[in-house]
Structure 1
Amino acid sequence: MQKCKITVLFGKELCLRITNVIRGSSFHDWMIGPEELWHEMSDEELMWRASMVPRISKYPKNRTRKVAFMFLSRGSLPLGPLWEMFFKGHAGLYSVYLHTSPEFTKEPPESSVFYMRKITSKHVEWGQATMMDVERRLLANALLDFSNERFVLLSETCIPLFNFTTIYNYLINSNHSFDHCKPPCYMDEHYLAILVTKAHSDMNSNRSITWVDWSKGGSHPTRFVKKDVSKSFFNRVRHGFNCTYNGSLTTVCFLFARKFQPNTLEALLKIAPTLLGFNP
């Protein structure tokens, strides 16, 4: 029988609830997370379980290192078809997590990479502290899968700038994290960036891999519409900068970009196979 050794930290009632969750879990659940993301754990229980770190570094089974893509959206992803094209043919190398408004219950087709990938959601107010709770909730769910080694937070207006293989290799082989903001920093925009910088500045690259145009000032970046999508635009964003990657200079500094409005989807789908190297 499992004993509640965490009573001092969490209280007896919470300890018993967590013990029941553990008792009903298989080794598979603990190694790569439950197949179904929907669970009844409270945020406190979720954070406790996600904070576990194995004392033995060697894993008892072979595993594939994965990148966790954590999407924050009000409902269905307006640019979802572009992401479907991005993920096509790379099953097993990524995990998808989607946080939507609790009122949104629609599921995509079973063939979609977003099918049954919604996590337990709560009400969110854009620009408020609840956004930080969402980011923590997404990250905690992703941490339940020990195969996830890189974590990318994405909004519903984000797009990839390269194909999956390029982005996967860039992230998996990197020696640093990519979290950064230039003041003023906003809690809903830069919570994780500030947290990583404060806690592990030595492991941070002090730059972002998501390109955003803040040139107009204010608390909201530039929004891009259909007429903005062109080869010259993407070539400038993809290779128009210099940065350091694992100690070497490179022009590949940004892997993602935002904010792209829903009316850009058709143009993005047309340009993706040739310019971005997506599988059609």
Structure 2
Amino acid sequence: MKSHQLWQLGIKDMKAVPLPRARTSPKKRVCILLAAFVSVATVWAYLYPPQHYTSPMRDWLPAEPVRELTDQERASHVVFKQILSTPPVKSRKSKIAFMFLTPGTLPFERLWENFFEGHEGRYTIYVHASREKPEHVSPLFIGRDIHSEKVAWGKISMVDAERRLLANALEDIDNQHFVLLSDSCVPLHNFDYMYGYLIGTNISFIDSFYDPGPHGNFRYSKNMLPEVRESDFRKGSQWFSVKRQHALLIIADSLYYTKFKLYCKPGMEDGRNCYADEHYLPTLFHMVDPSGIANWSVTHVDWSEGKWHPKAYRANDVTYELLKNITFQEKYLWFSTPKASKSPKRILDLKWLRKSLAYGME
């Protein structure tokens, strides 16, 4: 048989072998999975951003058209600019105003007395009792009550009480920093630490963040236009610590205060509830002086439970470990302990531990 015939037989007798299928390389599979994960994470972060985060995608949107200011806006902006550009009045002894917003008697007066001891001339105390005349057990608090009015939770009367406290505290020219506290607040550090922390700063501590959810911008009302746009609407904790310039600005404002008085309250249209004490100051300072605030509060309040009210610490919850963990978060000066206020002994027993924590000792 000729050689070419052998070749032809060989070709015919060969079995068909399927071509190998193209396989995705491990590197390509990893890249696809990574891209999918990044895409999902990006969409999730945009839809559900962290509380103190403003999505950069908002900056890509076209700028809102510039409009002509109303007469009241122009007048307010002139006053705000004048206040912010005027240097603070020099005082011989800078003091911090401690402003207590309370329903009645302060359960932690003895602890605060211990905190203030030996620092006379560096602080002043103001008490706004909204329900009943408080009975003071510490001589430091006697005679420190101011004229008070009824306060309803979630209503503008809460902001009115804050402004009333600021107005009284501003009468003392030596008061350079103003701290709003509740009857449930206790200090986390010693007085010297706190004094240096606040007097040494040139900013105010006002919690302010953009919240696109149902408890944030869903509360906004278009009746606030044109002065307050939805993109400017902010949320934050009620508890603040402000420098003198910002305290004056809060007292001087009537334009934005009126907007929140009329259009930020419980039982609005569409069944929405807006709480002025959570939105007024965060929005005001975001619009008027955003670089002058820290965008967080120096009072520790735990909202992790996602309820209408913060976590209620009971007496047995306030332990050495809890105070230690909060103290290590350096931004906090005060600790809000709602339920523990009914059992102040537990807090008083821990006062020496608190002092040792302030000095970094165990």
How high is the TM-score relative to the length of structure 1? 0.69
2:355 matches 1:276: yes
Query: Which residue of structure 1 aligns with residue 241 of structure 2?
Result: none
1:24 maps to: none
| Structure 2 residue 258 is matched with structure 1 residue 230 | no
Aligned-pair identity in percent equals 39
State the alpha-carbon separation in 1 of the partners of residues 123 and 177 from structure 2.
Answer: 9
Aligned equivalent of 1:260, options 338, 356, 362: 338
Report the alpha carbon displacement of residue 56 of structure 1 after superposing the two structures with TM: 8.7
Write out per-residue CA displacement over residues 172-223 of structure 1, whole angstroms, 9 at most, x where no aligned residue: 0012111114433342245434433332111111121111110111321011
Distance 1:258 1:194, change over 3 A: farther
Distance 2:89 2:343 in 1: 45
Gaps of 5+ in 2: 1-81, 217-234, 236-274
Residue in structure 2 matched with residue 68 of structure 1 by the alignment? 97
Q: 1:207 to 1:264 in 2, by over 3 A?
A: same
Using a 3 Å threshold, how does the CA distance of structure 1 residues 220 and 58 change in structure 2: closer, same or farther? closer
Does the Cα contact within 8 Å between 1:107 and 1:116 map onto a contact in 2?
no
Report the CA distance between 1:126 and its aligned residue.
1.6
Work out which of the residue numbers 96, 108, 127 in structure 1 matches 2:136. Answer: 108
Deviation at 1:259, TM superposition (A): 3.1
CA RMSD between the two structures: 2.6
Q: Counterpart amino acid of 1:270?
A: D
Tell me the secondary structure at the aligned position of residue 179 of structure 1: strand
Query: What is the identity, as a one-letter code, of the residue corresponding to 1:259?
Result: T
Amino acid at match of 2:100: F
Deviations 1:25-52 (A, max 9, x none): xxxxxxxxxxxxxxxxxxxxxxxxxx99
Where in structure 1 are there 5+ consecutive unaligned residues?
1-50, 242-251
| 1:68 shift after superposition | 0.5
Contact 2:125 2:144 (C-alpha < 8 Å) held by counterparts: yes
One-letter code of the match for 1:178? F
Equivalence for 2:293: 204
Cα offset, 1:87, TM superposition: 1.1
Contact persistence 1:179–1:207 (CA under 8 A): yes
Relative to structure 1, the CA distance from residue 156 to residue 56 in structure 2 (aligned partners, 3 Å threshold; closer, same or farther) is closer
Superposition pairs for residues 1-280 of structure 1, below 5 Å? Answer: 59=90, 63-101=92-130, 104-108=132-136, 112-182=139-209, 183=211, 184=216, 185=235, 186-189=275-278, 191-239=280-328, 241=329, 252-261=330-339, 262-277=341-356
- Contact 2:299–2:334 (Cα < 8 Å) also in 1: yes
- Look up the SS of the partner of 2:295 in the other structure: coil
Structure 1 counterpart of 2:177, one-letter code: R
CA distance in 1 between partners of 2:184 and 2:353 (Å):
21
CA contact (8 A) 1:73 1:156 kept: yes
3-state SS in 1 of match to 2:160: helix
For the residue of structure 1 that corresponds to 2:193, the secondary structure is helix
Q: How many residues align?
A: 213
Superposed structure 1 runs of 4+ greater than 4 Å apart: 55-59
Pair 230,58 (structure 1): closer, same or farther in 2 beyond 3 Å? closer
**Kept after mapping to 2: 8 A contact 1:221/1:259:** no
Do the aligned partners of residues 152 and 230 (structure 1) sit closer, same or farther apart at CA in structure 2, a change above 3 Å counting?
Answer: same
Contact 2:106 2:134 in 1 (8 A): no
Q: Cα 1:88–1:154, aligned 2, differ >3 Å: closer, same or farther?
A: same
Equivalent position SS for 1:68: strand
8 Å contact 1:159–1:260 — kept in the other structure? no
Aligned partners of 2:99 and 2:179 also within 8 Å: yes
Aligned to 1:197, what secondary structure does the other structure show? helix
